[in-house]
Amino acid sequence: MLQSVPFARTLGISFDKVEPGLAIARMPDRGDLHNHVGGPHAGVLFSVAEVASGAAMIAAFGDQLSRAVPLVTNATIRYTKLAKGEIVAEAHLRSSREEVVALLDAGKRPEFEIAIEVRTADGTPVSEMTVFWTLRPNR
């Protein structure tokens, strides 16, 4: 993930865990990425959550990438508390891998959700995000 998405490296994102349908990403606190109230900028929180969703997606569907291109179709985010310090984003696939692959096998363009909870290193929730992905079959 970090090799194929240079922006994730730029932000200093690392991964604590990546397995099919699950990813836990971590980003250090960086003053150059703070907003006007001293926490990570909203765009930074969005980015670490989106990167975590991408890692969970690749871990679940990486074996399908020779026949389909993964694309984000939509994302929603809710900011719940000012973040301070290191950020952790935990992403979970909400769909069944088997159902998504079956749709792809049937020649359809499956869409699926990945839910992400973003929290501080001490476990305080700071935002919730849902990323909607599709696997666009190659032509």
Q: What pTM, to 2 d.p., does this model score?
A: 0.94
pLDDT of residue 125: 98
Please answer whether residues 68 and 26 qualify as being in contact, where contact means their C-beta atoms are separated by less than 8 angstroms: no
Which amino acid is present at 60? Answer: A
Count the neighbouring beta carbons within 10 Å of the beta carbon of residue 38: 10
Residues spanned by the domain of 14: 6-137
pLDDT per residue of the chain (139 residues) written in tens, 0 to 9: 666 677 888 899 999 999 999 999 999 999 999 999 999 999 999 999 999 999 999 999 999 999 999 999 999 999 999 999 999 999 999 999 999 999 999 999 999 999 999 999 999 999 999 999 999 999 8
pLDDT at 7 (0 to 100): 82
Q: How many folded domains does the chain comprise?
A: 1
Is 124 a domain residue?
Answer: yes
Indicate which CATH number applies to the domain containing 34. Answer: 3.10.129.10
Edge-first strand order for the sheet with 125-137 is 14-19, 22-27, 87-93, 111-120, 125-137, 68-79
Reported as type and span, the H/E element at residue 101 is helix 97-105
